Amino acid sequence: MHARYVALAVAVLLAGATATAGALSGGRVPLRVSSSSLTQSGQEVVWRVQLAHSFSPTGLQRDRRSLCLLLERAGNGSIFGQLCIRAPARRERAPRLAYMPITSAGPGPALAIPATITRASDAQLTATFLPTSISLAYKPIRWQVISTLSPPACVPPLPDRVGCYTLVPARPTLARLHTPQLVGCVPSGPSLLYNGPNVHEVALTFDDGPWNDPPTSQFLDVLEREHAVATFFEIGDQISTYDPGGAQERRMLADGDMIGDHSWTHPDVAALPPAQQTQQLISTATAIKQQTRGFMPCLWRPPYGDISPSLIGLARSLGFLTIMWNDDPRDWALPGVNAIYTTAVSTARNGSIIIQHFGGGPRYETLAALPGEIATFRREGYELVTVDQMLGLRLIYK
């Protein structure tokens, strides 16, 4: 849609106009919107629109129509962008969602954004997208759906201005977007895993923290600087000592890292009676939940890699997948930075789960090897993912 239409749309919203504008010709009217909603589901924003009749996204441009979501700031009501339904790309079947930023200088270019678009019927459409795809922060915004029909299908309200439009709802509605809080993950698939699927990705994992030699924060500094993620398996009894306020664990989750359970005191859990096995897992998971203010892990790693069928089954009954590894640089033995780096990168394959340590002893060698590992994996085309991402587990947000 051109700048003149956007300018009028802005004026319409600021004036609070609610009726259809323009005199219609030939009985043609803008697509009639029955209802719409804008809600949040976890990390994603969901836009649902229901029309009073069937419509085709492919035919919108051909028929000189548009169906868009106008977005405005909750504080001053100024419009900052619009999302419009577009026809599928060539050789694709699903419609697209295009975003146009709007500033005081006018509208910017409209670009397709990553979105999942589904249709329950020919009169309905649901678009799901991440706010980051349109540089939108998690904070309240106001919205309206605008349906337009351009000349010559209708007579503009003023000469040389836009055509006809309807706004639904009648006044901009508040959507209370909030920063999503990760509270859990759903275990699925095999109960015991040594590696992920045959996909060109690897998962960096670190055991035995939190710790102070070096502090856990230094591992997070590297990951943040390199824009990489990892999975941290924690010993419950150490959390109150080395991360008493939970700041580092909350930082992990905010960075997109994952936290797993590594028992309460790092014993040979497989050798314990079932009641003590349960205590080792649940006590640690509870400590993680308390320190993160809500996150309950669904991954656990047995100390020393010692397992038994009964322990694997017990862990699954408690809501945990047992995560082993297939790439071990033996950093716990302090073999030197180059040895850790060389083993980690030379052993990696598609779906590798790499075990290293961020606690249980001086881990400066592991920390020093980490930037080189990340650089090499990326140079070789591997994507760095967390274990839950590698396994395709569903995360739970509130």
Q: What is the DSSP-derived secondary structure letter of residue 63?
A: T
- Catalytic-role residue among 257, 261, 266, 357: 357
Structure tokens at 101: 């930023």
Name the nearest CA neighbour of 316 among 307, 326, 325. Answer: 307
Question: Rounded CA gap, 388 and 196, in Å?
Answer: 10
- Catalytic-role residue among 207, 208, 327, 331: 207
Question: Rounded CA gap, 213 and 262, in Å?
Answer: 19
H helices of the chain, where?
3-15, 59-62, 216-226, 236-242, 247-255, 274-292, 309-317, 337-347, 364-379, 387-391
Q: What is the DSSP-derived secondary structure letter of residue 31?
A: P
Dihedral pair phi/psi, residue 200, rounded to 5°? -75, 70
Q: Residues of 113-139 as b/e, b for ≥16 C-beta within 10 angstroms? A: bebebeeeeebbbebbbebebbebeee
Q: Is 207 among the catalytic positions?
A: yes
Q: Is 357 among the catalytic positions?
A: yes
Name the nearest CA neighbour of 222 among 367, 339, 88. Answer: 367
How far, in Å, are 31, 77, 126 from residue 286 at the CA level? 53, 44, 37
Q: Residues of 278-291 as b/e, b for ≥16 C-beta within 10 angstroms? A: bbbbbbbbebbbeb
Question: Rounded CA gap, 22 and 156, in Å?
Answer: 5
What is the distance between the terminal CA atoms of the chain, rounded to a whole angstrom? 36
Residues with catalytic roles: 207, 357
